[in-house]
Amino acid sequence: MVRFLLNRFGQSIILLFIVTVITFFLINLAPGGPNGVMRMDASPEERQAMIERLGLDEPVIIRYFEWVGSALQGDLGTSFNSSEAVVQRIADRLPYTIELTVFTIIFSVAAGIILGVMSALKRGKATDHVINFSSVIGLSVPSFWLGLMLILLFSVELGWLPSSGVGPRGADFEFGGWLSHLAMPVLILSTTVLPNIVRFTRSSMLEVISQNYIRTARSKGAKEFVVLYVHSLRNALIPIISIIGVLIPRLLSGAVITEAIFGWTGIGTLIIEAANGRDYPLIMGITVVITLVVIVSNLVVDVVYSQVDPRVKNLA
């Protein structure tokens, strides 16, 4: 286990290094610059003053190493466009993205398992076909379009759900308002992973059902309910833990669009803002943090998986 973790750690460092190098040089060598420098009515003198202030007159390679140096000490620099610490800006926004993705995972896993099991148990029947068909539709609809249609229906026509924002927070927090703001974003984001979970549950359930011990349990006269839950589902669920690890990067990618549609002020809307404003330190900061989030969550999934599944435990 320790070796496995060390190995993972080494790979993560390399991954982070490659990701930061590519991003840093990409953004710095591309045309355009930070908003302050690129203000349309700024005079050449104002522009030059900003370039010097932001340290953009130094060669890119030197700036990269300076950035790495302070990043290693936990300092991701100061956002060009707001003069706040990058760490602070990310810390302000990341919780919203985590909230959105965690609730999406909970919803998708719950709905996915229910639908997947239903589909497996009714294999070949109408229910199975409907669920399969819907999964493929879910995979095929552009999620932002579906989002707009939902807004059109629930916000514009019916006026049931707010079209945008994360709802009142802090002192004004109130459960109904929170849930109504969360409902559509979670639904839309779940279309990026729900179909996969349904399909995966279905096939893993089918596999388990056909195994000998289930037949044994059945022939021993165990109740259908017990067979289904105690024996089949538990074993079918183990692989689903592993698929969550695979789906996390996809969820975070999907979160960018989802947040943009619903004005969800998470890290996805922040990266859009940062990219448009050429906020180099902020782009770098988000890149590092999002890569770390994926690395850590995958690690957690692996560790949990190895604890649950004895076969993997032995391998590690």
Interaction residues for another protein, span 258-287 (CB under 8 A): 260-261, 263, 265, 269, 271-273, 275-278, 283, 286-287
Binding of another protein by 181 (CB under 8 A): yes
Among the listed residues 94, 139, 222, 312, the single contact to another protein using CB under 8 A: 139
Q: Which parts of 295-314 interact with another protein (CB under 8 A)?
A: 295, 298
Q: Which stretch binds another protein (CB under 8 A): 61-69, 173-181, 214-222, 301-309?
A: 173-181
Give me the least distance between CB of 51 and another protein, in Å please.
Answer: 9
Of the candidates 268, 242, 290, 91, the residue with the CA atom closest to the CA atom of residue 188: 268
Binding of another protein by 43 (CB under 8 A): yes
Query: What's the CA dihedral at 88, 91, 96, 101 to 10 degrees?
Result: 140
Binding-site residue total for another protein (CB under 8 A)?
Answer: 114
CA distance 124 to 120: 9
Binding of another protein by 13 (CB under 8 A): no
Among the listed residues 1, 26, 60, 226, the single contact to another protein using CB under 8 A: 26
Of the candidates 59, 258, 3, the residue with the CA atom closest to the CA atom of residue 144: 258
DSSP letter at 40 equals T
Q: Please, which residue, 223 or 234, has the CB nearer to another protein? A: 223
Give me the least distance between CB of 68 and another protein, in Å please.
Answer: 18
Q: Which parts of 210-269 interact with another protein (CB under 8 A)?
A: 224-225, 228, 239, 246, 248-254, 256-257, 260-261, 263, 265, 269
Query: What's the CA dihedral at 198, 199, 200, 203 to 10 degrees?
Result: 120
Please count the other Cβ atoms lying within 10 Å of the Cβ belonging to residue 117. 22
Give me the least distance between CB of 2 and another protein, in Å please.
Answer: 20
Q: Please, which residue, 102 or 114, has the CB nearer to another protein? A: 114
Q: Are 290 and 267 in contact (CB under 8 A)?
A: yes
221: left (phi over 0), alpha (psi -120 to 50) or beta: left
One-letter identity of residue 282: L
**What are the DSSP calls for 6-64, one per residue?**
HHHHHHHHHHHHHHHHHHHHHHHHSS---TTTT-TT--HHHHHHHHHHTTTTS-HHHHH
CA distance 146 to 124: 29
One-letter identity of residue 237: L
Give me the least distance between CB of 164 and another protein, in Å please.
Answer: 4
Among the listed residues 155, 214, 218, 222, the single contact to another protein using CB under 8 A: 155
Binding of another protein by 153 (CB under 8 A): no
Q: Please, which residue, 105 or 257, has the CB nearer to another protein? A: 257
Among the listed residues 71, 76, 89, 285, the single contact to another protein using CB under 8 A: 89
Binding of another protein by 134 (CB under 8 A): no
Q: Which stretch binds another protein (CB under 8 A): 24-32, 62-70, 214-222, 300-308?
A: 24-32
Between helices 234-262 and 267-276, what is the axis angle to 10°? Answer: 40
CA distance 147 to 141: 10
Give me the least distance between CB of 155 and another protein, in Å please.
Answer: 6
Q: Are 283 and 275 in contact (CB under 8 A)?
A: yes
CA of 233: how far to CAs of 121, 129, 194, 229, 303, in Å? 11, 21, 18, 5, 21
Give me the least distance between CB of 66 and another protein, in Å please.
Answer: 18
Binding of another protein by 294 (CB under 8 A): yes
Q: Which stretch binds another protein (CB under 8 A): 59-67, 78-86, 214-222, 302-310?
A: 78-86
